[in-house]
Structure 1
Amino acid sequence: MLIWKDSYSIDMDLIDTQHKHLFDIGNQAYSLLKNGLKVDKYDEIIVIIEDLRSYTKYHFKCEEEYMLQVNYSGYEDQKKEHDAFIKKIDAIRLYDIDRNQQKYIEDLLGFIFNWILEHILQKDKLIMS
């Protein structure tokens, strides 16, 4: 489970609010993973993936527009990472989810948390420095 801390802020309210929503999506996946009472989690996994897909596309667009607006020198690298993230989400095969739902949630959760730790908390923080 991820809990937002002020130290995660990049000091831009719009982007910080969007990052908090990505934390929420990750925590939805975490709650689903820990729900031992629900055997078939397929539909909930699909909802989380769709939310992640649509929200990150929206968020990346906002973030990239802001980086261009402030002439951020790391824009190209950020854009490449954003595009790779979207490509990975778009490549998800529904068959893979249904084969082993619990493992899939674990993998998805790892992907989201890794993105937060490596991209948001390291690379996005450079935008405002």
Structure 2
Amino acid sequence: MLVWKEEYAIGVEMIDAQHKHLFEIGNSAYKLLRDEFCTDKYDKIVEIIEDLRQYTMFHFKSEEEYMKKINYRKYFSQKVEHDDFIRKVNAIDFDNVDENPEKYLEDILAFIFNWTLEHILQKDKLIKAE
């Protein structure tokens, strides 16, 4: 489980709120992974992935519009990273999910948490710094 800390905030309220929601999506995957009473997790994993896909597209669009508005000089490198993330989510093979849902949930969690934390702390923090 990942807990939001103020050190993750970049100082732009709209973006910080959206980042918090990304943590919530990741935490829903974590809770599902730990749910011993749910024996068939496939449909819920698909829901989480779809939520992640839809929300990141919304979030990245918002963040990119903000970067354009403030003439952020590293906009294009951010856009490339955002597009890569969406491509990775869109490339998920649901047959693999069905074959080993527990393993896939662990992979999804690692991907969401690692990418999100690294991106926020190393890239998004710079947006406000300029």
TMscore range, shorter length = over 0.9
Structure 2 unaligned spans of 5+: none
Equivalent residue letter for 1:104 = Y
Give structure 1 stretches of 5+ with no counterpart: none
TM-score, normalised to structure 2's length? 0.97
The alignment's C-alpha RMSD in Å is 0.7
1:122 offset after TM fit, Å?
1.7
Counterpart AA for 2:11: D
Q: Distance in 2 between matches of 1:123 and 1:78?
A: 7
Pair 1:67-2:67 in alignment: yes
Deviations 1:54-97 (A, max 9, x none): 00000000000100111111111100000000000011111010
Partner residue of 1:14?
A: 14
Aligned to 1:113: 113
CA drift of 1:38 comes to 1.4
Alignment correspondent of 2:4? 4
Partner of 1:48: 48
Question: Which amino acid is 1:102 matched to?
Answer: E
What is the CA–CA distance in structure 2 between the aligned matches of 1:86 and 1:110, rounded to whole Å? Answer: 16
- In the other structure, the counterpart of 1:77 is 77
Taking structure 1 as the reference length, the TM-score comes to 0.98
**Whole-Å Cα distance in 1 between the matches of residues 87 and 122 of structure 2?**
21
Regions of 4+ moved over 3 Å? none
Q: Distance in 1 between matches of 2:114 and 2:52?
A: 14
What percentage of residue pairs aligned between the two structures are identical?
Answer: 60
